[in-house]
């Protein structure tokens, strides 16, 4: 009998790539998504169950139907700026929804849980390589909500024996090299797809938010990781739990930081087109530098990023962009 894995947010950017990786590893991914930000066309690798995480009866029904061996929890609100303006939305949409999911999983006896967390739990700690032992000090409601869910998982580990892997990752980029799935948000907020839209004339220009940060060129520095490398790590995390190795936290990144201007320069080189830009003010809640230390994932999971060099990530994203995306 083939093992099923419940993937919340499986119609979204990262979740859809994880579903493809799960299928390749011999699992059946069951996507649970309300399609508020995901795309039905992205559900290509297993069954689809439409529903909201706030609907406990619907969750119980799905757990009973598929009897998943594990949960991969990607579904979340994730806009930093929005979380600064409307924190209540993030505490309800992320924390309360996740509590509902965790309780439903425990009630169904599905005790292997992989959680999509974020480097935003660390806040603004410039000049520090961020690893699993770094102090968490989020500076926005998005990061705070993710940290709260991490704490929640630890509590349920003690009370219900919930085994969990938490992945704190950095800026996710790129797309499936075969262009079956990719990144397409409405509205789009991520740097590389915004830049490709500007290159392609789909928006007038790319706005650089802040040029006076304490970095070499004045723009924010981020660690970028390819979405397919990230998906591979989630499968390794699932196998870690199923082998009985216990709960753990892993940072996922390339270990290298690139400024916004460096990403712009590389995008121009990959596409052989100029990037039209405008300069704007800093956005509230944006840290100056976020760079990962991923040695634990490499040591314990055997994870090795294969496509997380900047040129490959941009080239894969450009291929997906030219393919047209969803709903276009």
Q: Spot the catalytic one: 27, 90, 122, 142.
A: 142
Q: Which of 95, 77, 121, 147 is CA-nearest to residue 287?
A: 121
Sign of the dihedral defined by the CA atoms of residues 251, 35, 97, 161, in that order: negative
- Which residue, chain included where needed, has tokens 């924010």? 220
- What the block records as the tokens of 158 is 């003690």
Q: Which of 127, 288, 291, 124 is CA-nearest to residue 214?
A: 288
d(Cα 201, Cα 187) in Å, to the nearest integer?
Answer: 16
DSSP string for residues in 140-168:
SHHHHHHHHHHHHHHHHHHHH--EEEEEE
d(Cα 165, Cα 137) in Å, to the nearest integer?
Answer: 20
d(Cα 121, Cα 107) in Å, to the nearest integer?
Answer: 28
Catalytic-residue membership of 326 = no
**Pairing of β 221-226 and β 257-259:** antiparallel
Q: List residues with catalytic annotation.
A: 142
């Amino acid at each position: 009998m083939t093992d099923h894995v419940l993937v919340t947010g499986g119609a979204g950017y990262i979740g859809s790539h994880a579903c493809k990786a799960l299928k390749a590893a011999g699992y059946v991914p069951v996507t649970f998504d309300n399609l508020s930000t995901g795309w039905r066309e992205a559900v290509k690798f297993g069954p689809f169950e439409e529903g909201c995480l706030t609907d406990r009866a619907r969750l119980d029904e799905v757990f009973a139907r598929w009897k998943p061996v594990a949960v991969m929890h990607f579904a979340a609100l994730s806009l930093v700026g929005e979380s600064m303006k409307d924190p209540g939305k993030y505490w309800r949409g992320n924390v309360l929804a996740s509590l509902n999911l965790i309780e439903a999983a425990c009630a169904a006896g599905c005790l292997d849980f992989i959680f999509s967390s974020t480097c935003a739990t660390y806040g603004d700690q410039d000049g520090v390589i961020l690893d699993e032992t770094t102090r968490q000090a989020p500076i926005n409601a998005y990061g705070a909500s993710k940290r709260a869910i991490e704490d929640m998982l630890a509590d349920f580990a003690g009370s219900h024996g919930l085994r969990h892997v938490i992945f704190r990752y950095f800026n996710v980029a790129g797309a499936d090299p075969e262009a079956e799935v990719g990144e397409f948000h409405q509205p789009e907020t991520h740097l590389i797809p915004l830049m490709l839209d500007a290159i392609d004339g789909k928006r007038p220009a790319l706005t650089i938010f802040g040029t006076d940060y304490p970095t070499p060129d004045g723009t924010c520095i981020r660690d970028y990781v390819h979405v397919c490398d990230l998906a591979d790590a989630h499968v390794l995390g699932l196998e870690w739990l199923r082998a009985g190795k216990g709960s753990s936290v892993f940072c996922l990144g390339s270990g290298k930081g690139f400024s916004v201007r460096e990403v712009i320069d590389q995008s121009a080189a990959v596409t052989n087109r100029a990037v039209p830009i405008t300069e704007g003010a800093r956005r509230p809640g944006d840290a100056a530098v976020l760079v990962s230390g991923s040695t634990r994932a490499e040591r314990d999971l055997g994870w090795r990023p294969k496509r997380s060099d900047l040129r490959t990530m941009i080239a894969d994203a450009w291929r997906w962009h030219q393919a047209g995306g969803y709903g276009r």
